[in-house]
Structure 1
């Protein structure tokens, strides 16, 4: 039987156990935060549910990076309000919370605009969820968004073994939060705060728990992950390069990745780790945003296009097979046709295996929002389509170049069809492979035989009926 607690800490069992539905928006760090919110609530007697209609508590873990993020959350809250009213008519209670970066940015305005919301909690304070919900049970509407009060990393809820085992073969692990770079387009310094690094010992402890529960690949997360720093057991300063070296020594941890990095914090020690550590995958997400020095300066990126290209030369010298990913913003205030062409030139020179690209959209409170020279939306659309076509061509070319190669694939799950498994290549591309290649959690050495729009097909993977192949 499942077990929970009522608001006085009294154990509940069976069908009376409370259930929580967490909807996650945005980045991988929000995925990790949602898992840790589930950990905190699990210790308070809540069980996860996959359906909103089945929940006693609904949490929206929000992202503020995309355009109109807040409006989308208010629209979702409007639908939840109707569900809450239905519950009330049935004499049942439904509690509603908003967490994450929109919660941090909007704060008390959410409480004012959305009567259905009982709780607003920021990304640095979700470890206090049980205490906040106890206040809600006493009739309060709670806003807890003060990330300056304490260091969240000192108070993260401990993951229970059963909860970790539900996370699969690959897992995220947050090691750093916040950013001190203050790019003029970005809200992260305002919603996540200043850069904070999680202590080395704490990271190693969680990594070992993950591996003991069956995780074989860990992706280290941070808004500016390669700014991570701590001290080792001897009190010596250590950066991300040193951290991945220590993680690579954990038995049965087969693969390591990290995201997202800033070019200015890519140091020699981290580049050397890419050279020396087989567990550190040959894939690097290193955003540049623009290929125009004039726009990079306006963005406060504090590097030039030439700086970025020289850095990539050093990285490729250390790890020649590395696959590169990037971020691009088109239509930043003041961007001319010539500036945009500089971005296309940089993309052609680099050759990306994958990338993310967006139209610039102003974020309230950021310097970019008040800059002159905002670009017409039609021009942004046209530029984005042109840029994405070039990136798609590069991504397709990279995938085609894998045909005929042998590579290790970490098997993550069963495929859609009998006899299929799905894994990940070292370059983060999904690979469809035959079930005979191995079990979930194993690394299979396979030969890539063909390319699908969003995946690679390993030799023998298409051994299925013709009708199934046509539907695949």
Structure 2
């Protein structure tokens, strides 16, 4: 779990984005502290209205970089003039605000509290299906708070899902430290059975499966892919964090899978599903990562081409075994992170560009966007923005048909039909 400090400058939109960042960090078990000197990570949400503001942002970023172990910079100046921070020698990662929560986790599992219960936020229902995991990753502090997997019975989770649907949920997000190992504590691998039961609930809604480590998915990859193919209520979306393309580094990380198992999961979903989204994570600059290891990660990224990718520079967490390792220099981590992030934008941009001109049916409107726009998700959980939603009479929770008219690298634009 990380201690974070966040500062927001500028307009109402920036403040709204910061609130969403904080919500997602809170849901993952991280907690806010009063000042940057007490924090593991600092988040600076920037403004770029005038030149004086830009100078202030650069000065504040430099101060925060000196006061905390990791700095994440987002907001208008970060996205429009990100090179200014690098040019000033500031050791911080420039990210889109939506990428910040994943970067803060440092590749760790999300953390639910012991009394985690389903919650409904708008039309989105959050359903924690279990607590804990079966991993012992050398870099992760989460395991100290969660312990091993504890899976409630399938029927109990189905009833919670049914209650969310009856309360108005149009999207149910299945969460947990590692959804792929649901049921392992009972001697069975039952995630696919749980998903099938939830999809059988009456109502118009969608289901998104949260993070599932490759090892847990590998043993049920065929059954799981079949359940996705047979149930339209399931988003064809899988978040399986590989973390490295090097088996040597995976061993030092004490990840339970090897690269080949991850690739087999991807190949199984590729052969079963015509249209789906692969999401994965890479930790760049782990203490034992060599240049060859990094190139293996880049090669794996090119091979599997995930449509959503979280790139995190390794950061030491207190009390973990990896914190005792001699780390790589900040320059090395920065260069490798930039190389992978550049490749990420190329791959993700191509995926969204391929959507332009196509029609997506039964797209779910899930959240308000900026101004009069709304955020929608298609069947593979790809994000589509509809502008001037009010002019079309579109409301949150609607299912609509869209023609994809453009893209902005990490999301598409759609026009209602």
TM-score by length of 1: 0.62
> Aligned equivalents of 1:293 and 1:179: distance in 2?
21
Structure 1 residue 369 displacement after superposition: 1.4
Structure 1 residue 308 displacement after superposition: 1.4
Of 150, 156, 160, 1:206 maps to 160
Counterpart residue number, 2:244: 290
Counterpart residue number, 2:208: 257
SS across alignment from 1:427: coil
Query: 1:359 and 2:310 equivalent?
Result: no
Cα 1:388–1:68, aligned 2, differ >3 Å: closer, same or farther?
farther
Pairing 1:43-54 to 2, within 5 Å after superposition: none
> Aligned equivalents of 2:283 and 2:187: distance in 1?
38
Counterpart residue number, 2:351: 398
> Aligned equivalents of 2:409 and 2:367: distance in 1?
19
Query: 1:447 and 2:403 equivalent?
Result: yes
Higher mean alpha-carbon deviation, 336-345 vs 363-372, is at 363-372
Counterpart residue number, 1:299: 253
SS across alignment from 2:248: helix
SS across alignment from 1:426: coil
Query: 1:31 and 2:41 equivalent?
Result: no
Q: Name the count of aligned residue pairs.
A: 323
> Aligned equivalents of 2:189 and 2:248: distance in 1?
34
Check whether the contact 1:28–1:172 (CA below 8 A) recurs between aligned residues. no
Counterpart residue number, 1:310: 264
Q: Residues 69-120 of structure 1: CA distance to partner in whole angstroms, max 9, x if unpaired?
A: 45769x9xxxxxxxxxxxxxxxxxxxxxxxxxxxxxxxxxxxxxxxxxxxxx
Unmatched tracts of structure 1, length 5 or more: 1-22, 34-59, 76-121, 126-151, 462-472
> Aligned equivalents of 1:211 and 1:446: distance in 2?
25
Counterpart residue number, 2:223: 269
Cα 1:437–1:324, aligned 2, differ >3 Å: closer, same or farther?
farther
SS across alignment from 1:423: strand
> Aligned equivalents of 2:23 and 2:290: distance in 1?
30
Cα 1:253–1:186, aligned 2, differ >3 Å: closer, same or farther?
farther
Query: 1:243 and 2:199 equivalent?
Result: no
Cα 1:391–1:208, aligned 2, differ >3 Å: closer, same or farther?
same
Structure 1 residue 455 displacement after superposition: 3.0
Unmatched tracts of structure 2, length 5 or more: 1-18, 44-63, 65-110
Cα 1:71–1:249, aligned 2, differ >3 Å: closer, same or farther?
closer
Pairing 1:426-445 to 2, within 5 Å after superposition: 426-433=379-386, 434-435=389-390, 436=392, 438-445=394-401
Task: Specify the structure having the higher radius of gyration (Cα).
Answer: 1
Structure 1 residue 307 displacement after superposition: 2.1
Cα 1:236–1:375, aligned 2, differ >3 Å: closer, same or farther?
closer
Pairing 1:126-275 to 2, within 5 Å after superposition: 152=115, 164=120, 167-229=121-183, 239-266=190-217, 267=220, 268-275=222-229
Cα 1:236–1:181, aligned 2, differ >3 Å: closer, same or farther?
closer
Check whether the contact 1:200–1:230 (CA below 8 A) recurs between aligned residues. no
> Aligned equivalents of 1:415 and 1:342: distance in 2?
38
Cα 1:368–1:32, aligned 2, differ >3 Å: closer, same or farther?
closer
> Aligned equivalents of 1:255 and 1:174: distance in 2?
16
Q: RMSD between aligned alpha carbons?
A: 3.1
TM-score by length of 2: 0.70
Structure 1 residue 413 displacement after superposition: 4.1
Higher mean alpha-carbon deviation, 448-457 vs 310-319, is at 448-457
Of 296, 319, 335, 1:382 maps to 335
> Aligned equivalents of 2:197 and 2:155: distance in 1?
10
**Dislocated runs of 4+, deviation >6 Å:** 23-27
